[in-house]
Amino acid sequence: EVQLVESGGGLVQPGGSLRLSCAASEFTFSSYWMHWVRQAPGKGLVWVARINDDGSSTSYADSVKGRFTISRDNAKNTLYLQMNSLRAEDTAVYYCVRDLTGEDDAYWGQGTLVTVSS
Amino acid sequence: DVVLTQSPLSLPVTLGQPASISCISSHRLVHSDGNTYLSWFQQRPGQSPRRLIYKVSNRDSGVPDRFSGSGSGTDFTLKISRVEAEDAGVYYCMQGTHWPPWTFGQGTKVEV
């Protein structure tokens, strides 16, 4: 069964940094685009970042551009999100997602909560 | 950026009755490759989202056939033919035609 397991969330002060990881299993990780999508408490879904299958191309939401970096290690089947200069408005559950629009199932992880507060 | 507007935002439904959610896009969602990348996601309380429909009308594996998607251009609809208790949750449309960004609608809360 396909699994995506996020980790690395927690409480961080404004201006701080955090690195999220997403461990993928039971599918050919290197064949899929991957995304990070976040959801603030009680709010809707917001796309954050995307990386192509070999890691050569990335895209970001304007709200995180220049502060967040998406990357992947296909040898370790792991997706990352490096988050710097964190703000209170970055507080959310962060989900890693396999291929939002493709014909294969778009699997979501269970999410990891990031709380930015002093 | 493409804006997706869902209606209604709250939908009380009766078990066994049909339900319908509308998603209107600010831009036509036909890609240059001829596909229309409009998807629907379901998020049950306390759970991660799950995709139900991709490319307007294609059901993901394991999705009951009571769920159907339709539409074209800028107007899209998710229909549940006969609502069951497990269908309670929030439903989101999402476009992946004009990216970045990939954009979601505001969500529609279905209350059974």
pLDDT at A102 over 90: no
B93, B78 contact by CB (below 8 A): yes
pLDDT at B98 over 90: yes
User: Is any Cβ of chain B less than 8 angstroms from the Cβ of A1?
Assistant: no
pLDDT at A103 over 90: no
Q: In whole angstroms, give the CA distance from residue B89 to residue B45.
A: 6
Q: What are phi and psi of B101, to 5 degrees?
A: -90, 160
Q: In whole angstroms, give the CA distance from residue A62 to residue A4.
A: 25
The token duo for A8 is 């690395």
User: Is any Cβ of chain B less than 8 angstroms from the Cβ of A109?
Assistant: yes
B12, B111 contact by CB (below 8 A): yes
Q: Closest-CA residue in chain A for B103? A: A47
Contacts of B106 (CB under 8 A, 6+ apart): A44, B4, B5, B6, B9, B92
Please compute the mean of the pLDDT values over residues A105-114 and round it to a whole number: 95
Does the beta-carbon distance from B104 to A103 stay under 8 Å? no
Does the beta-carbon distance from A45 to B104 stay under 8 Å? yes
% of chain B surpassing 70 pLDDT: 100
% of chain B surpassing 90 pLDDT: 99
What is residue A105's predicted lDDT score, i.e. its pLDDT?
87
User: Distance, in angstroms, between B107 CA and closest chain A CA?
Assistant: 6
User: Is any Cβ of chain B less than 8 angstroms from the Cβ of A98?
Assistant: no
User: Is any Cβ of chain B less than 8 angstroms from the Cβ of A27?
Assistant: no
User: Distance, in angstroms, between A108 CA and closest chain B CA?
Assistant: 7
At A32-75, the pLDDT tens digits run 999 999 999 999 999 999 999 999 999 999 999 999 999 999 99
- Per-residue pLDDT band at A118 (split at 50, 70, 90): very high
Q: Closest-CA residue in chain B for A99? A: B96
What is residue B18's predicted lDDT score, i.e. its pLDDT?
96
B9, B21 contact by CB (below 8 A): no
What is residue B32's predicted lDDT score, i.e. its pLDDT?
94
Please compute the mean of the pLDDT values over residues A91-107 and round it to a whole number: 93
Tell me how far CA of residue B98 lies from CA of A43, A93, B29, B56, B74, in angstroms.
Answer: 23, 25, 7, 15, 13
Q: In whole angstroms, give the CA distance from residue B80 to residue B40.
A: 12
Please compute the mean of the pLDDT values over residues A86-106 and round it to a whole number: 94
User: Distance, in angstroms, between B34 CA and closest chain A CA?
Assistant: 14
pLDDT at A30 over 90: yes
Task: Say which residue the tokens 């939401």 belong to.
Answer: A61
- Per-residue pLDDT band at A111 (split at 50, 70, 90): very high
Coil, helix or strand for B103?
Answer: strand
Contacts of B57 (CB under 8 A, 6+ apart): B68, B69, B70
Q: In whole angstroms, give the CA distance from residue A8 to residue A2.
A: 20
What is residue A28's predicted lDDT score, i.e. its pLDDT?
96
Residue type, B11: L
The token duo for A38 is 């976040």
At B6-53, the pLDDT tens digits run 999 999 999 999 999 999 999 999 999 999 999 999 999 999 999 999
Q: Closest-CA residue in chain A for B99? A: A59
